[in-house]
Chains A and B, each alone.
Chain A
Amino acid sequence: MQTRRKMLTQSAQVAGLLATAGLLPQAAQAAWSQAAFDAKTLAEAVKALGGGAPAESKDVSITGPDIAENGAVVPVGCSTGLAGVKMLALMVEKNPSALAAVFTVSDSVDANFNTRVKMGQSSNVFAVAIMNDGKVLYAAKEIKVTLGGCGG
Chain B
Amino acid sequence: MADPMRIRAQAAGDKATVRVLMSHEMETGQRKDSAGKAIPAWFIQEVTATHNGKPVLSAQWGPSVSKNPFMQFNVKGAKAGDKIAVTWTDNKNDKRTDEATVS
Contacts and interface: CB of A to CB of B under 8 A. Distances in A.
Interface of A: 32-33, 36-37, 72-75, 77, 92, 95-97, 99-104, 106-110, 112-119
Contacts of B55: 106
- 10 residue pairs, one from A and one from B, having the closest CB atoms: A114-B72, A116-B66, A110-B74, A108-B56, A100-B64, A37-B62, A103-B59, A102-B60, A32-B45, A104-B58
Interface string B70-84: 111111110000000
A116 B69 contact: yes
A142 to B, nearest CB: 17
Given A96-B30, A115-B70, A118-B28, A104 B65 contact: no
Contacts, number: 97
Size category of the B interface is 20 to 34
Interface on chain B toward A: helix, strand, loop, or mixed SS? strand
B64 A117 contact: yes
A35 B89 CA distance: 18
Contacts of A97: 62-64
Given A108-B51, A116-B69, A116-B70, A101 B75 contact: no
Contacts of B46: 32
Interface of B: 15, 26, 28, 30, 45-46, 49, 51, 54-67, 69-77
A72 B27 CA distance: 11
B73 A109 contact: yes
B100 to A, nearest CB: 16
Given A33-B60, A102-B59, A106-B57, A116 B73 contact: no
A136 B62 CA distance: 20
